[in-house]
Amino acid sequence: MRARASAAFGLAVPAIATAACSGPQSALDPHGVEAQAVATLFWWMTLAGALIWCAVIGALVYAGRRRRRVFSARAAGRIVLWAGAVTPSVLLLILLGYGLALMPDLRPASALTANDRLHVEVVGEQFWWRVIYHRPDGPPVVSANEVRLPVGTRVAFSLKSADVIHAFWIPQLGGKMDMIPGRTNRFSLQATRAGTFRGPCTEFCGPSHALMAFAAVAMDEEAFAGWLEREAGPAVRTEGPGLDAFLANGCGACHTIRGTPADGTIGPDLTHLGARKTLAAGALPNTEAAIARFVAAPEAVKPGARMPAFGMLPEREIAAIAAYLAGLE
Amino acid sequence: MRLVPKEIESLWTLFTGPVVWAAHFLVCYVGGAVYCARREWLGFGFEWVRIGVGAATAVALALIVAAAWLSWRQWGFGTEDPPHDAATAHDRRSFQGFATLLLSGLSFVAVVYTALPVLMIAECNP
């Protein structure tokens, strides 16, 4: 019984330990310059911590099991001086030096002042993300709940909040930064490999904090340019019963669908909703059924969401709206 | 005649190291923050912040070393081992000297750590 339990434990520990090493939200599966540097730092610290732990436990076992004699006051004083003061100070100096040496290149200030690069503005709102791509050539492109960036280019971010403190983090690309009402926090990220990641809100912001996330997509430069061009354009369908129901029920007061009369700016832009990876800021899969569910009862999916429920509409109309929105690729 | 008397019956000398550490910390961090917030108005480059921090560090370390030397002397240059816990004026002075020496060591390391970032960081961000 005991052997079986310890065998199960022996299997479970590495399984749990490695479960965090991959997946769409793991800082240990780096796809960006900063995440790579931080992951390397993490592994060095883990290794050094394990070695120090072994040395301390080894000394403990030696003193208690093998030696079993009292140290002289002078020898004990020397151990305290070297193992308790000098060694930790030197190790901390090395760790501090390593960490500080990383800083200038991870988020160079020059990336924030250059005007010739893509600059993404992200505004945290309860409980979604307003995303605005400021291109060096051309008008800004407004989107929501998904951040895309080209591989190999440093992209500047400016982070804001419309209500309470949120925090922006794409673990596989780099570190996190707070979004504070009344402030603009700036940093930059550089993806090194293509991939799709999950960016969670990392500052408690209300009842649906855990349901506030976005998809982050690192794409090859050309694919990204093509995507941004499409994202900048109007909606692919600008008529039909779904849009009529959308407009007749006042959805356009809060949501924009470019190319249609819907031009509200209170809620997320829906111009290319059908092309997004997730729905309702990472809370639901992006399917027609999920859109219908969210339109009918947003509060049931995301407690505290500002969007009113439209469950009183005839099912036919909700289905038409959902079909229309799902088709907006 | 000694410049600083050997027997100061005061606790204040004990805090010389930590006080210098605190002052150095404030000079470095407040100075850096003020420079980065008002750099356009001030009109000089970040290298002057690095030079200033370097100078403040040199002064702070010199003061701490001086305090450490005085406390080493007060301790009797280590002729007797701690804990100096007899109820005598001699032990009280030795204890204070030893404690001041240890605090000076801590403050020295702390001042070096505080100054370390300017070796690496060469600009305000943002």
Q: Which candidate from A93, A96, A186 shows the least CB-CB separation from B126?
A: A186
pLDDT digits (tens, 9 = 90+) for A139-195: 999 999 999 999 999 999 999 999 999 999 999 999 999 999 999 999 999 999 999
CA of B104 to nearest chain A CA: how many angstroms apart?
A: 13
pLDDT of A321: 96
Higher pLDDT, B27 or A137: B27
Instruction: Summarize the confidence of residues A17-44 as an average pLDDT.
Output: 86
Pair of tokens at residue A326:
């799902």
Task: Inform me whether the pLDDT recorded for B35 exceeds 80.
Answer: yes
pLDDT digits (tens, 9 = 90+) for A252-302: 999 999 999 999 999 999 999 999 999 999 999 999 999 999 999 999 999
Q: Does A73 touch chain B (CB under 8 A)?
A: yes
Largest CA distance in chain B: 61
pLDDT of A116: 76
C-beta of residue B17 within 8 angstroms of C-beta of residue B68:
yes
DSSP secondary structure letter of residue A211: G
In this structure, the dihedral spanned by the alpha carbons of residues A142, A147, A152 and A153, taken in order and rounded to 10 degrees, is 40
Instruction: Summarize the confidence of residues A210-217 as an average pLDDT.
Output: 96
Each residue of A118-139: b (16+ CB within 10 Å) or e? bbbbbbbbbbbbbbbbbeeeee
C-beta of residue A195 within 8 angstroms of C-beta of residue A164:
no
Specify the residue for token string 């000297």. Answer: B97
Higher pLDDT, A198 or A114: A198
Q: Work out the percent of chain B whose per-residue pLDDT is above 90.
A: 54
Mean pLDDT score of chain A, rounded to an integer? 91
Contacts of A77 in chain B (CB under 8 A): 81
CB contact under 8 A, B116 and A96: yes
In this structure, of A198-207, A305-314, B57-66, B73-82, the range with the lowest mean pLDDT score is B73-82
Q: Does A72 touch chain B (CB under 8 A)?
A: no
What phi, psi does A5 have (nearest 5°)?
-60, -40
Q: Does A8 touch chain B (CB under 8 A)?
A: no
DSSP secondary structure letter of residue A308: P
Long-range contacts of A46-53 (CB under 8 A, 24+ apart): A48/A91, A52/A91
Work out the pLDDT band at A137, boundaries 50, 70, 90.
confident
Task: Inform me whether the pLDDT recorded for A2 exceeds 80.
Answer: no
Domain parsing of chain B, residue ranges: 13-115
Task: Inform me whether the pLDDT recorded for A303 exceeds 50.
Answer: yes
pLDDT of A1: 46
